[in-house]
Structure 1
Amino acid sequence: MSAHAGGPGTAAPGTRPRPSRRLVRTVTVVASCLALLAAAVVVGVRALGREPTVTLLANWTGEDEKNFREAVIEPFERKYHIHVDYQGSNAESQVLGADVEAGTPPDVVVLTGPGELAEYARQKHLVPLDGLVDRDDFGTSWATPLADGHVYWFPLKADLKSIVWYPADVGEQQRGRAVHDPAQWCLGMGSGATSGWPGTDWIEDILLQRYGPEVYAQWARGALPWRSKQVKGAWTTWRDLVGAGGDEDRVRRALKTPYRSASSPVAATPRGCTLEHQASFIRSRPAWQHVDGRYEPSAQLIFGAPTTRAWEVSGDLVALLHGTPQAKKLIRHLASADAQRAWTAQESGFSVRADAEPAPGDAGSTWHRSLARALRDERTTHCFDASDAMPPAVRDAFAEATIEFLADPAHLDDLLRSLDTLSDSRGLTWLPSVCDRASP
């Protein structure tokens, strides 16, 4: 119950008399002084280096950062008495690049791009995780050994990408009709410095579902030209599905809309769009929660395939830049089943560690448990997001090309020719593997 408003009054029967206002003020001042003193002591101890500190850079902010701190960081700090100096940024790639150039990189970093991490490993900025992480806990598509035989990263959080979201009240026949109507697709390409990646997800998933993981893996490793009929076909299929170069108002809206807001029209009256091809994390957006969003594998909805040939997946990958004792302890903690299970329980993400799966009786939404099972399904191939696995220069050019293509698809041949030229550049680092079951 809320406290009753008003001034001082007679104490209710059976209650203790209220303390005087002077006493309350005195106690409040003393408590505040003690709190300030305690904070000063903590700061002083850290400044003197008596409490070990590990620096961590990741991309979680807002509610995700809160869940990460409560479920993962704070238990580590309590157990090991090591302070985690956490920095959350939506532009963590740019922040890391600037820090590395300045010679002040964090001890531990979390990035979505294994291609970017592979480049840092080639430049000797990363510390191998040998003896700290067992690669068998995650699988080759997640903890990829590089040419030197070392593993340099592992996934803390994973997401499924080969899915299409729709409102609970939209039936199968209505979904089947909506697929072929560009106006029914919720699409937003904006994402700050990384704008365009929702388009890369589309093209990657189309290629994967149409041609399978072997072709997809060749392309993601730089062994299949952008102008091949398979890759070019994925671009033109996306054009036809979302109406690239068509209705100017719709295209302009898609180009200007941030990806986080793309689903907003699904909850409007009248409904502005019905389907969204987006990763599993989008289910937390208010619009999809409002319409009780459900998902269907993209292979079944877009292509009518009886089964899913493979899943495109993504992950937030942990890497070590300074092998200090406290940083190594944090690595072991983040890779542990307990830490990954704790964050999964918050429904902020998914863990692909088999032994991190929540117990059958644990609480959790049906959609979250279903997606988690698909991510861990050993009978199905999982392929890492191709653009994230590509060298950073190619990844960025790919994202920019999807924006240009959506505005004017007539320039496709020129865009693909430029991407082929860039991909053939010397000195690029390509991953040896992106799929856990694809043949070389």
Structure 2
Amino acid sequence: MSAEPGGAAAAAPGTRSGPSRRLVRTVTVVVSCLAVLAAAVVVGVRALGREPTVTLLANWTGDDERHFREAVIEPFERKYHIKVDYQGSNAESQVLGADVEAGTPPDVVVLTGPGELAEYARQDHLRPLEDLVDTDDFGTPWAMPLADRHVYWFPLKADLKSIVWYPAGVGARQLEREVRRPAAWCVGMGSGATSGWPGTDWIEDILLQRYGPEVYREWVRGKLSWRSDEVRKAWTEWRDLVGAGGDPDLVRRALKTPYQLASEPVTATPRGCLLEHQASFIRGRPAWQRADGRYQPTARLLHGAAEPPAWEVSGDLVALLHATPQAKKLIRYLASADAQRAWSEKESGFSVHTGVRPAGGDAGSAWHRSLAATLRDTGQVHCFDASDAMPPAVRDAFAEATIEFLAHPSHLEDLLRSLDTLSATPGLTWLPSVCDGKGGGGLRPGNAGTRER
């Protein structure tokens, strides 16, 4: 009795419980599949680029790229939840040109050449920035309106040129003696696709210091012949300073050495060179850190320099190619005092933003503070790097000519004649002014205009 009722009673729940467990397992499997499917959809959306993303091309690689990511990009991504697809290249002009030609340019680009950017603006590849950026925060020559009254770029990072670096412990008398000794100069002309620009820096600076900003500006505007006495003498003075065409070992070293390694012999034993004519950024190189590098303005070392002295400057200029919502946010952010200050405080460069107080790093390096103050000093004349402001074809030919001249200074007349011919090519875009507070704004498309012969 007890067995049957017990058996019957046990059998009934067993019959009902089987389908319930199968149902639970089925629901569980379905839910799991839906979760996997949802994750796959998210991954797919991101893979298709539907997550808010802005593409950025710049020339920073290595440590500079790391500083840029840590100080600028990552805070932007955290704040706005927008991914920055960054591409760093030492040949960014060539990369950008190829991307534009292919119809796939980045949203935002950082270039060193306002001349190159002016050409892109003329071709309608750039978008105006005055609705996104307060250009009064920067001023001339950093954020200059063009002929259509639009501003197309602003500086994220600035550097001071017209500088000669030397190791701590070198006195004034020794410095004056060494300036005229070619073997004392650390020269490196190599820079990949842009090799030769250290030579253009030299010639530009000599011209600026010898003849002042008026002559410099006319030359950069395409109105002063390359064969003028002023320009020719700048080339020959550079020849005499660094020994162009002289000691084969010196010339070979200069031609084969990458610019970023030119200062390495400063701390070698025995010391291989003593002086380097280079922009402020070079102070971050290991050799000048070890040597506790000091600087003098070029004007103090060139006998007969014009008074008052002027400063050649350069900048990494931000421009907008696609006005997407996320690209606009990045532009506003890069132009902000916070972003500019963050980059400057890494001592990777300087900001000329009026809202950023000149300072250098957490400890405030004396050399950094001094250079920052000079960049921001409204009583000083600042002229943008001449070759960077020239049309790209002229810029590139100028750089190539300095390499040829260093090895064969007897070719100077032919080189200058070729540069004159190229500069007179119709259709080139020349900037009207490159010095602060001088000239005016406006693209000058077409022929280079009246040129002194």
Question: Taking structure 2 as the reference length, what is the TM-score of the superposition?
Answer: 0.86
CA distance in 2 between counterparts of 1:133 and 1:309 reads: 31
Distance change >3 Å, CA 44–CA 369, structure 1 → 2: farther
User: Which residue is equivalent to 2:190?
Assistant: 190
CA distance in 1 between counterparts of 2:162 and 2:204 reads: 9
Distance change >3 Å, CA 400–CA 372, structure 1 → 2: same
Counterpart amino acid of residue 213 in structure 2: P
CA distance in 2 between counterparts of 1:299 and 1:308 reads: 9
Give the alignment of 1:346-385 within 5 angstroms. Answer: 346-357=346-357, 363-385=363-385
SS at match of 1:110: strand
What's the CA shift for 1:144? 1.6
Distance change >3 Å, CA 101–CA 359, structure 1 → 2: closer
Check the 8 A contact 1:345/1:358 in 2, yes or no. no
- Once the two structures are superposed, residues 76-121 of structure 1 have per-residue CA deviations (whole angstroms, 9 ceiling, x without a partner) of 1111111111111111111111111111000000000111111111
**Does residue 73 of the first structure (1) align with residue 70 of the second (2)?**
no
User: Which residue is equivalent to 1:181?
Assistant: 181
- Once the two structures are superposed, residues 295-319 of structure 1 have per-residue CA deviations (whole angstroms, 9 ceiling, x without a partner) of 1101012337596511000000000
Identity %: 80
Check the 8 A contact 1:213/1:438 in 2, yes or no. no
CA distance in 2 between counterparts of 1:252 and 1:340 reads: 40
- Once the two structures are superposed, residues 156-211 of structure 1 have per-residue CA deviations (whole angstroms, 9 ceiling, x without a partner) of 00001100000001111100000010110100111111111000000000000010
Give the alignment of 1:10-29 within 5 angstroms. Answer: none
Check the 8 A contact 1:299/1:308 in 2, yes or no. no
CA distance in 2 between counterparts of 1:251 and 1:386 reads: 24
**Does residue 137 of the first structure (1) align with residue 137 of the second (2)?**
yes
SS at match of 1:314: strand
Q: Root-mean-square deviation (CA), in Å? A: 2.0
Give the alignment of 1:312-323 within 5 angstroms. Answer: 312-323=312-323
SS at match of 1:200: helix
What's the CA shift for 1:51? 2.6
**Does residue 269 of the first structure (1) align with residue 269 of the second (2)?**
yes
Check the 8 A contact 1:140/1:433 in 2, yes or no. no
Distance change >3 Å, CA 404–CA 306, structure 1 → 2: closer
Which portions of structure 1, spanning 4 or more consecutive aligned residues, are displaced by more than 4 angstroms?
Answer: 39-45, 304-308, 358-362
User: Which residue is equivalent to 2:161?
Assistant: 161
SS at match of 2:270: coil
**Does residue 425 of the first structure (1) align with residue 425 of the second (2)?**
yes
Show structure 1 runs of 5+ residues with no match: 1-38
Alignment size in residue pairs: 404
Counterpart amino acid of residue 431 in structure 2: L
Counterpart amino acid of residue 135 in structure 1: T
What's the CA shift for 1:422? 0.3
Give the alignment of 1:19-418 within 5 angstroms. Answer: 43-47=43-47, 49-303=49-303, 309-357=309-357, 363-418=363-418
CA distance in 2 between counterparts of 1:350 and 1:245 reads: 36
- Once the two structures are superposed, residues 112-138 of structure 1 have per-residue CA deviations (whole angstroms, 9 ceiling, x without a partner) of 011111111111111111211122111
User: Which residue is equivalent to 1:6?
Assistant: none
User: Which residue is equivalent to 2:437?
Assistant: 437
SS at match of 2:414: helix
Distance change >3 Å, CA 147–CA 306, structure 1 → 2: closer
Check the 8 A contact 2:164/2:298 in 1, yes or no. yes
- Once the two structures are superposed, residues 351-402 of structure 1 have per-residue CA deviations (whole angstroms, 9 ceiling, x without a partner) of 0012112569953211111111111110001000000000000000000110
SS at match of 2:295: strand
CA distance in 1 between counterparts of 2:305 and 2:230 reads: 18
Counterpart amino acid of residue 302 in structure 2: I
Distance change >3 Å, CA 306–CA 105, structure 1 → 2: closer
- Once the two structures are superposed, residues 194-232 of structure 1 have per-residue CA deviations (whole angstroms, 9 ceiling, x without a partner) of 111000000000000010001101100101110111111
CA distance in 2 between counterparts of 1:95 and 1:173 reads: 47
CA distance in 2 between counterparts of 1:361 and 1:88 reads: 24
Question: Taking structure 1 as the reference length, what is the TM-score of the superposition?
Answer: 0.88
Check the 8 A contact 1:214/1:439 in 2, yes or no. no
CA distance in 2 between counterparts of 1:194 and 1:288 reads: 23
Distance change >3 Å, CA 227–CA 40, structure 1 → 2: farther
Show structure 2 runs of 5+ residues with no match: 1-38, 441-453
User: Computing the radius of gyration over CA atoms, which structure comes out larger, 1 or 2?
Assistant: 2
CA distance in 2 between counterparts of 1:355 and 1:394 reads: 35
Check the 8 A contact 1:128/1:152 in 2, yes or no. yes
CA distance in 1 between counterparts of 2:408 and 2:290 reads: 34
User: Which residue is equivalent to 1:27?
Assistant: none
User: Which residue is equivalent to 1:7?
Assistant: none
SS at match of 1:319: strand
User: Which residue is equivalent to 2:4?
Assistant: none
SS at match of 1:367: helix
What's the CA shift for 1:75? 1.0
Distance change >3 Å, CA 390–CA 371, structure 1 → 2: same
What's the CA shift for 1:62? 1.0
CA distance in 1 between counterparts of 2:241 and 2:78 reads: 51
Counterpart amino acid of residue 242 in structure 2: V
CA distance in 2 between counterparts of 1:312 and 1:339 reads: 24
Counterpart amino acid of residue 363 in structure 2: A
Check the 8 A contact 2:334/2:340 in 1, yes or no. yes
What's the CA shift for 1:41? 8.7
Distance change >3 Å, CA 225–CA 57, structure 1 → 2: same
Counterpart amino acid of residue 75 in structure 2: P
